[in-house]
Structure 1
Amino acid sequence: MTFCGIKITHDGGIALIENNELIFSIELEKVNNNNRYAGISDLSEIEELLNSKGYDINEIDHFIVDGWHIDRSKTTTPIHSIIETKSSGKPIALQVSTYNEESLKENNLNANFFKDALPINGKNFTYSSYKHVTGHVLSAYCASPFAAKKEDSYVLVWDGGQYPRLYYVNPNSKKIENKGTLFFLTGTIYGIMGHYFGPYKKTETERIEDQRQMTLNGFFGGLSIAGKIMSYMGEGHINHDLLNALPQLYKSNMEISVFFEHKFCKAVEAYTKNISCTDADVLLTIHTYLEQMIIEKLQKKLKKDAYAKANFCFAGGSALNIKWNSSIRATNLFKEVFVPPFPNDSGSAIGMACAGMWEHTNHSHITWNPYVGPDIKKSEVPAGWAETACSLEDLALLLHHKNEPVVFLSGCAEIGPRALGNRSLIAAASSPDMKACLNRVKKREPFRPVAPICLLEDAATIFDPGCEDPYMLFNHDVREDWKDKVPTICHVDGSARLQTVAPDCAAKEIRILLEAYKKISGIPLLCNTSANYNGKGFFADVKTACEWGKLNYVWNNNTLYTKVTNPTIFNVGQVLENSNS
């Protein structure tokens, strides 16, 4: 039985589960070098994506569409929401489920059913739709190791459209119990606080426009800012006067509205005018306060339930916060902690397919790996590039001796927002200048960190805790005796967003490369950052990587493409651009 999950709005795409195996998940941003967070602009794209993986749309048993926000001006039925999109170029209003629950007792597993109402290329297909939050709950739980063992688990969902809400999933009864809200700040708080403090600070006029857009169409204030804020606050220090004041600022300004995050940040802004602190200090202090609230409220929920030590999943965009993830794990409140590599809306299509599977089969888990995105497109290499055979062992030698970054394209793309070794810029981590080099070619701010990708068996030697973390979603500290050996991957606070690569990893080529590089250099890790144009999804093909042209080498399928016309000059990590591009 096949289940096709569909996410139409931002981070749009489709995912296919056959029986209980995730066959593929394709986000639109990773197709044809589309913009980051691209949605499905026309329903005909659904058939194109299915065909790209060899599936006939007429053979799909169930289509399941992600729910979304209710616009009261466009619907009189509060059980439905409306998404305005197109089908074969014609505007349509597609009915879907809502974003989240109206009450604790509302059943998240109740689907809306629409017969012959999904028009794709002249045919009408029947589909169901679940609440958006249901997709987050089930994408995280069904992908977890707990689901495979039929163990219960808590699931915390905190994204841009809702408060942090805790659920309890029982795979044996197939029920999701809503445990309620932890506190009353939506996941937008992280981006919005960056509009008041730090390098992305906005004027009051710009903030007012943001709030107007939020009222009109659910605009969340910038999807790309939160991760950058997490990087920037590494330069700060906790201000304990502010930290002690934040609970009262939260309490005295609290209101249930989409504007509370702004009201809270304005109160912080007013308070900090009278104390000595940098913007990085303020952001780190707010982050710490939120972290303390998460843990405190989780402790209270768990104490009230009094279950045996339980498992825990985290989903929603806030689950991309490696500092919070690690702090939750370090509390030992839970038996085990799992965060999928697609916790934000990049996993919503997967969640919808999981909801269909949950409803129509006896399965409560999926078998999966993160390398089931789009294939590398066949393409013509542009003029000015030479093509030579190059094994992974040869590539390891080049990385070690040339000390230049390489575009590394392998197999199918990763799912989720992190580059996990199949669509990466890779480089040796031994040069103190390499981070500046990579940030410059990617047009990123100088404070942005570069992540390490490391052989699992060596991780604990270099990092603390250095445990298995294959999806780059937890914080690790670089051990003192390694900081001078791998300075590129050390953030300003001594941390690193580690990805470990196990011997049985599905990304076999990056594993072989790391093994070969260790034999040559004695270092079992490389730098890893995403291969893409600024503001776009991963490179779709070799041609695009060559046309981007910021590096001299592109590797794919045992072939090295070398820029021979007007190559970029690398000198002690500084990039001397050969053009004004």
Structure 2
Amino acid sequence: MAAILGLNLHHADSSAALVLDGKLVAAVAEERFGRRVKHDSAFPAQAIRAVLDIAGITVRDLDVVAVPRDTTKSRAARIRHVLANPVSGTRAALEHLRRARRETGLMDWVAAACDVGRESVTARVVNVEHHLSHIASAYYCSPFETLTAGFSYDGSGDFVSAMAARCEGTRIEPIARVNLPDSLGFFYTACCQFIGFDEFGEEYKVMGLAPFGEDAYAAQMRELVTTPDGGWFRLASGCFGMHGGGESGRLDERGRIAMGRLFTDKFAARFGAPRLRGSEVTQRDRDIARSCQVRFEDVAMHCFRKLHDLVPSRQIAYAGGCALNGVANARLLRDTPFEQPYLQAAASDEGLALGAALWAWHNVLGGRERFHMTHAYWGPDYDDAVVRAAADQANLPVHRIAPDRVADMAARLLRAGLVIGWYQGRSEWGPRALGNRSILADPTRPEIKDLINAKIKRREMFRPFAPTVIHEETGTYFEQSVFSPFMMHVVKIRPAWRDRLPGVTHVDGTGRLQSIKRETNPRYYDLIAAFGRLSGVSMVLNTSFNENEPIVDTPAQAMSCFLRTGLDVICLGDYVLAKPEHEAVVRDLLAEPVA
């Protein structure tokens, strides 16, 4: 047995993934444990223990530890940057050296995480370039074997912000890189910070806010990021402050990732004073969000078309933080020659651990067998005793439901107008709740969006909620029949359905689609099918089971979130608990005869 542990560490979205004989068996982010801080950059000690425990092996069984960072790459580009920017460039170079030094003791950290001596860990360390790991996480998880375009784009990694590749069989051949200081990811983040969303990982808020604005700043955005003839993209000189050498993974006083300011005064001169966090969101802010999103999409489409010229295939596998932009992902299918895209469930840096591990399997150990990711349920699950113990702590009536009735019971609760916490099986890998750690509601209720934002999620009111739909019914409700199992596409809802689906229809008529097949999650599929029979709509509103924190992982975390928020009911495995004001609804449904 070949055992490979992939680690994303000393950086945001710290995570671990375990690959045995070329197959993913477990993957989880450190944020789900311990400190419960979003995008946690702590060493993934608990994630390591979790994936080893899921697989039933120990750290002594590992052959390779794969790390998605290679500080030997792009040296020429770094030297040029230092020469052109002596102050910031030198700080940046020192940061890269600091990261390299931190990883010299990696195996000591791994041994300590597993409570064994260093001599017990005999695995070799393999370093894989950041963006190569991203592409590997997509291509090696895809069903593609023939010529495929590979692409990765984000803020930066190993001094690179984007990479293009030719993929075929088990080989990935990088054919182009975009080096810093040019970065489409940093362009988007700078706009995000400017309009007051200045914490790490808040770019999705700009995507949600953009439809409320007009493209009033198109000219300014075209100046900030250009697409030179024959090139990929370029940022305006002096407008962006990235790569000033801030320490990777540095935390603020709340234990969150500390963000340096990515926009300069020259950037701000185009728009006025930056919005302060917590202040009113003005029409100007909405318009900046809209113009930022439009320019991002236009440049991304330029890159994808250029990629197709270099790799003329119908297939594309891509990843990186920018690949989470679901609006751009849907547009790729409309406006580029690519017809068959593949994105895996953890497309951002969390997924680097998996990409590095799979790259090592194929390129270091010589593995030929491929793995195809069809679902996202790679995290821990908990046995019935642990689930029941968590339920019993609530001092509420606990109803155990026959396994074959749970989906139907949940569907009836939704149809009765209740909002439920849905906790089942293994937790999802990646940033999305995909039907095992979800909050579910009836998408046909006009008031449901504002209710969940105010009473449960306690977040900005402009942010939308996602629809999960039975895959066979996608074309009924959406203008694009894209298969999106990992909620990676924002698609137009057909006009005839928008008024009937107010809970999941955004202001621009879109929904962030998750489409589901029964073989990947039978209980969740059956719930949606049962709800469809009751309501005439084979769809539910799905949002992550959390409250301004990482998605819940353990039964105890789920119960805590249920009890402290405005959730009405929780379906915790085979157990159903309701708040006192809704207990009668549960009892009445239990008394109904089985259909």
| Structure 1 length-normalised TM | 0.80
Distance 1:561 1:155, change over 3 A: same
1:153 alignment partner in structure 2: 149
SS at match of 1:551: coil
Indicate how the Cα distance of structure 1 residues 520 and 257 shifts in structure 2: closer, same or farther if over 3 A, else same: closer
Contact 1:249–1:267, Cα closer than 8 Å, also in 2: no
CA distance in 1, matches of 2:44, 2:476: 50
Change in Cα spacing, 1:287 to 1:42, as seen in structure 2 (3 Å) is closer
Structure 1 counterpart of 2:211, from 234, 241, 245 = 234
Change (3 A) 1:293 1:41: closer
The structural deviation recorded for 1:229 is 1.3
Q: What corresponds to 1:556 in structure 2?
A: 572
Q: Secondary structure at the match of 1:143?
A: coil
- Aligned residue pairs total 513
Moved more, 158-167 or 440-449: 158-167
Counterpart amino acid of residue 398 in structure 2: E
1:244 and 2:219 aligned: yes
Deviation at 1:262, TM superposition (A): 6.3
Return the offset for 1:122.
Answer: 3.5
The residue type paired with residue 4 of structure 1 is L
The answer to whether the 8 A contact 2:29-2:44 is kept is no
User: Where does 1:40-59 land on structure 2 (aligned, <5 Å)?
Assistant: 40-41=42-43, 43=45, 46-47=48-49, 49-59=51-61
Seen in structure 2, the aligned counterparts of structure 1 residues 469 and 373 have a Cα distance that, compared at 3 Å, is same
CA distance in 1, matches of 2:554, 2:170: 42
Give the C-alpha shift of residue 487 in structure 1: 0.7
Residue 312 of structure 2 aligns to a residue whose secondary structure is coil
Q: In the TM superposition, what is the alpha-carbon distance from 1:173 to its structure 2 partner?
A: 7.0
Instruction: Judge conservation of contact 1:5–1:15 (CA < 8 Å) in 2.
Output: yes
| Cα deviation 1:433-486 (Å, max 9, x = unaligned) | 000111111111110101001111111111111322111111111111111211
Q: 2:467 maps to which residue?
A: 452
SS for the counterpart of 2:176 is: strand
Which moves more between the two structures, 482-491 or 114-123?
Answer: 114-123
Q: What aligned pairs does 1:464-475 form with structure 2 within 5 A after superposition?
A: 464-475=479-490
- Helix, strand or coil at the partner of 2:183: coil
How far off is 1:524 after superposition? 0.4
Equivalent-residue separation in structure 1 for 2:483 and 2:54 (angstroms): 33
Q: Residue deviations 1:43-74, cap 9 Å, x none?
A: 47633541254222222222223327799789
The residue matched to 1:188 in structure 2 has which SS? helix
Q: Distance in 2 between matches of 1:193 and 1:76?
A: 27
How far is the alpha carbon of 1:180 from its aligned partner?
2.6
Query: Aligned runs of 1:319-330 on 2, under 5 Å?
Result: 319-330=323-334
Q: Distance in 2 between matches of 1:457 and 1:173?
A: 32
1:273-422 residue pairs with structure 2 within 5 A?
278-303=284-309, 305=310, 307-359=311-363, 360-363=365-368, 365-368=370-373, 369-376=375-382, 378=386, 379-381=389-391, 382-390=393-401, 391=405, 392-401=407-416, 403-422=417-436
Shift in CA distance, 534/559, structure 1 to aligned 2, threshold 3 Å = same
Cα distance change, pair 133–568 in 1 and its aligned pair in 2 (3 A): farther
Note closer, same or farther for the CA distance 1:250–1:264 as it changes in structure 2 (3 Å cut): farther
**Residue matched to 1:271:** 270
Separation in 2 of the partners of 1:94 and 1:568?
Answer: 53
Distance 2:204 2:109 in 1: 38
Residue 79 (structure 1) shift: 8.5
> Match for 1:501 among 494, 508, 516?
516
Q: Which residue of 2 aligns with 1:82?
A: 100
Contact 2:161–2:178, Cα closer than 8 Å, also in 1? yes
Q: 1:225 to 1:75 in 2, by over 3 A?
A: closer
User: Aligned equivalents of 2:44 and 2:26: distance in 1?
Assistant: 20
d(CA) in 2 for partners of 1:446, 1:273:
25
Superposition map of 1:11-30 within 5 A: 11-30=13-32
Distance 1:78 1:396 in 2: 52
Q: Return the offset for 1:171.
A: 3.4
Spell out, residue by residue over 1:188-212, the C-alpha distance to the aligned partner (whole angstroms, 9 max, x if none).
Answer: 3323212222xx26xxxxxxxxxxx
AA at the equivalent of 1:238: D
Amino acid at match of 2:484: D
Distance 1:413 1:374 in 2: 6
Aligned equivalents of 1:429, 1:456: Cα separation in 2: 17
Q: CA deviation at 1:267?
A: 4.3
Q: Using a 3 Å threshold, how does the CA distance of structure 1 residues 13 and 568 change in structure 2: closer, same or farther?
A: farther
Can you list the C-alpha shifts for 1:76-133, whole angstroms capped at 9, x where unaligned? 99799436xxxxxxxxx4328xxxxxxxxxxxxxxxxx88885332322233122222
In structure 2, give the amino acid aligned to 1:82. A
Query: TM-score, normalised on structure 2?
Result: 0.78
Deviation at 1:265, TM superposition (A): 6.5
Using the TM superposition, give the Cα deviation of residue 135 of structure 1 relative to its aligned residue in structure 2, in angstroms.
1.6
Question: In percent, how many aligned pairs have the same letter?
Answer: 20
Equivalent residue number for residue 514 of structure 1: 528
Higher strand share: 1
Cα–Cα, structure 1 residues 224 and 133, in superposed 2: closer, same or farther, change >3 Å? Answer: same
Supply the RMSD in Å over aligned alpha carbons: 3.3
For 1:507, the aligned partner's letter is N
- Of residues 165, 173, 178, the one that matches 1:176 is 173
Contact 2:135 2:150 in 1 (8 A): no
Does residue 119 of the first structure (1) align with residue 111 of the second (2)?
A: yes
Contiguous gaps of at least 5 residues in structure 1:
84-92, 97-113, 202-220, 571-581
Distance 1:568 1:290, change over 3 A: farther
Q: Amino acid of the residue matched to residue 234 of structure 1?
A: P
Using the TM superposition, name which of 438-447 and 126-135 deviates more. 126-135
